[in-house]
Chains A and B, each alone.
Chain A
């Protein structure tokens, strides 16, 4: 039987706290020995619990996106903004959904499925249904990581459809939780420092899924369409409503520049940014708070068909005040990108041309020539800015405490 002993030392700069979940993922209580120290220390006691005290607090970002985890181009752009590339954990379960870079860890929320594939079939619920997910555990573990404590996170294996033995996740500088329900549960929502929702319209979703699936033997246009249609009711009931909580939404729609276009090649992308979010100042065009319609192509800039069209203005989105920056069309040349960047404000870049540089760095990524890539890159820079502001405010706080 383990004994609980607590040693305390005075520490001004360490934010140590131990969360003692009443129920572990294994479902029973465990006693722990707890050490509070300054700086980082790994302590192991009582059967597999690692306790880390960290001076930095983890910043948590929520990303709501359909279809899979860690693959999204946004994740790759975001980790690139912070430097480095996010890789699956070396060693351990090869079917892990987690991605880790120097600064960022991306967790796939599918790992918090309470029902595996067989279980869902028996109960008649899709993965979109909240009943298939363990929000209690999600909350506990995200909270633990945010407080600087490592967790043993379950793994949902997408190949077998089973829940695999857990993997250790250490608290990173930036934690991204990606999946279908990052903003569904209120407790988890309150842990998020920033949240983003990728809203893909049905037509674009169809076009993208065709690209993904048409090469597969079992698939046809009908099956792809049927799959989207069948998932729609649950999607609209459980996933879509999260849009009202998001700090930013990237909405992807078919273009309005080419009448009757259905290919999903040229896209109209809207970056919907909530006003009044701490540490987040929306990007704007020319004059903040006004309404602007802008076609950059003309005498100074030559664009090829169908050209580029921008819109910026204040709107209301699910009862919230937002600013919307919209781009329709594609970039064909580097100078178009630089030209556009030079006219946008509040980009949170560290130097002139940083957006262009990031876009060029990943010119092979999907969306690199349209609004999806542009806005994902901009949001990535905004998140970096948010992270640095949070860090700065945390550093300031203990100094004030010591002065008092």
Chain B
């Protein structure tokens, strides 16, 4: 049946230091661990929340697209803003990052309930988008 493994893999972050993360609940969520002395905190791995099933191929493709778009647009924004941080281009670039980040988050949240293509695929089961996603 539909597998979620490929969508929510733990990805090591670049070792970003978050000096103010204290509580265990917060630390546990973002995989922040202290070293033996308990002073330095580092992000060693970030686990995505448990994701619901992407049932249809169309949704899986969409998720992938959004993930790639986020990466691409963050890269673009960094490049554009190197010249002038206050420029319109820079603002627009980061606004796009926000838009796709939010779109991805919305899709994740909707998936918790039901695949957004559910009704569409009921009416159009033969389309490519509506192939049941298999591992």
Contact = CB atoms under 8 A, between A and B. Distances in A.
Interface of B: 8, 11, 13-14, 16, 18, 20-23, 25-26, 29-30, 46-49, 62, 65-67, 70-75, 77-78, 81, 85, 88-107, 109-110, 116-117, 119-120, 123
Nearest to A230: B94
A230 B78 contact: no
Nearest to A97: B106
B98 A263 contact: no
Chain A at the B interface: SS class: loop
A260 to B, nearest CB: 8
Contacts of A161: 96, 99
A218 B116 CA distance: 24
Interface centre among B74, B92, B123 (most CB of A within 10 A): B92
B105 to A, nearest CB: 5
A219 B69 CA distance: 11
A120 interface: yes
The 6 closest A-B pairs by CB, nearest first: A218-B71, A124-B88, A230-B94, A126-B95, A215-B48, A262-B20
Interface string A246-266: 000000000000001011010
Interface of A: 67-68, 71, 88, 90-92, 94-95, 117, 120-121, 124-128, 158-159, 161, 209, 211-223, 226-227, 229-231, 233-234, 260, 262-263, 265
A131 to B, nearest CB: 11
Given A158-B106, A262-B20, A214 B95 contact: no
A124 B80 CA distance: 12
B62 A159 contact: yes
A159 B13 CA distance: 25
Contacts of B26: 263, 265
